[in-house]
């Protein structure tokens, strides 16, 4: 049903009990029926490039969902019940209007990729650190001035992108993530040092800025950083 002029879905949508994939991209849908939570067999839910402002408050019924794509909508918040999507592995929420995240997002125990770039986030909940399966976290082009120390609990994190925010420093705990291979920090003009914890590594992760190591304490200094867009 992608690339149509759909503005809404009928409440009878719930009768499609065996439905496993929903592809509704490039429509004009502004709201989803509460009956959506009855689709317990759905594995993929794709609604990018619609006009969604909010999601149904109760998402518990989508207990088989593995992939959720809601990029390029107008979402302002996420329901606390999103934490009940325990089988979710991929979530694309980029290019919305999110200002905050519910703490319940930390209950997504199977989540491996979380895309939150190009929103209006000013802070992250500490609960984000409970995402022990998370491998890729994209936060570029938000309004973050700090990151919670709990990010250091993301033991599986391999790639972190925080480009073009308002970060002044990074939490010490970040350097303790042994799985971290790639870190993007360009565009945070006040960020001049990596945490001292990175000095304990054989080498820093792959980065998008030039680094210089201070002989006295081994701390990594950001030599070249991009301008804020």
Beta bridge partners of 81: none
- The Cα 191–Cα 170 span in angstroms is 8
* Tens digit of pLDDT at every position of the chain (229 positions): 556 667 877 766 666 777 889 898 999 999 988 888 788 899 999 999 999 999 999 999 899 999 999 999 999 999 999 999 999 999 999 999 999 999 999 999 999 999 999 999 999 999 999 999 999 999 999 999 999 999 999 999 999 999 999 999 999 999 999 999 999 999 998 788 888 888 887 777 888 877 666 656 666 777 754 433 3
CA dihedral of residues 152, 157, 163, 169 (deg, nearest 10): 20
Residue 68 near residue 43, CB atoms below 8 Å: no
Residue 165 CA: distances (Å) to CA of 75, 174, 184, 208: 20, 17, 11, 14
Rg (the chain; Cα; Å): 19
Helix, strand, or coil here: 150? helix
Distance between CA atoms of residues 162 and 152, nearest Å: 15
Residues 6+ apart with CB under 8 A from 67: 43, 44, 45, 46, 88, 89, 90
Q: What is the pLDDT of residue 14?
A: 67
User: How far separated are the first and last CA of the chain, in Å rounded?
Assistant: 36
Query: By the 8 A CB rule, do 32 and 10 touch?
Result: no
- Beta-carbon contacts of residue 5 (< 8 Å; ≥ 6 apart): 27, 28
Q: Measured at the alpha carbon of residue 95, what is the angle toward residues 122 and 83, in degrees to the nearest 5?
A: 70
Q: Which residues contact 179 (CB under 8 A, 6 or more apart)?
A: 135, 155, 156, 157, 158
- What is the DSSP secondary structure assignment for residue 204, as one 8-state letter? P
Asked if 96 and 74 touch (Cβ cutoff 8 Å), the reply is yes
Alpha carbon distance 132, 148 (integer Å)? 15
Strands 210-213 and 220-224, by their bridges, are antiparallel
């Amino acid at each position: 049903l992608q690339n149509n002029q759909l503005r809404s879905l009928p409440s009878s949508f719930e009768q499609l009990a065996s439905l496993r994939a929903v592809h509704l991209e490039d429509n004009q849908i502004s709201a989803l029926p509460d009956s959506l939570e009855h689709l317990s067999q759905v594995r993929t839910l794709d609604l990018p490039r619609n006009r969604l402002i909010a999601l149904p408050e109760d998402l518990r019924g989508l207990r088989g969902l593995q992939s959720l794509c809601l990029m390029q909508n107008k979402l302002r918040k996420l329901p606390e019940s999103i934490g009940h999507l325990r089988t979710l592995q991929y979530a694309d929420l980029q290019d919305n209007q999110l200002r905050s995240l519910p703490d319940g997002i930390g209950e997504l125990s199977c989540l491996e990729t979380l895309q939150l770039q190009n929103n209006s986030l000013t802070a992250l909940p500490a609960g984000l650190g409970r995402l022990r399966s998370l491998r890729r976290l994209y936060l570029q082009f938000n309004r973050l001035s700090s990151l919670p120390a709990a990010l250091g609990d993301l033991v599986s994190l391999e790639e972190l992108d925080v480009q073009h925010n308002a970060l002044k420093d990074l939490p010490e705990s970040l350097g303790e993530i042994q799985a971290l291979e790639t870190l993007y920090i360009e565009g945070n003009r006040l960020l001049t040092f990596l945490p001292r914890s990175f000095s304990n590594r054989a080498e820093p992760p792959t980065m998008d800025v030039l680094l210089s190591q201070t002989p006295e304490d081994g701390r990594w200094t950001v030599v070249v950083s991009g301008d804020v867009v």
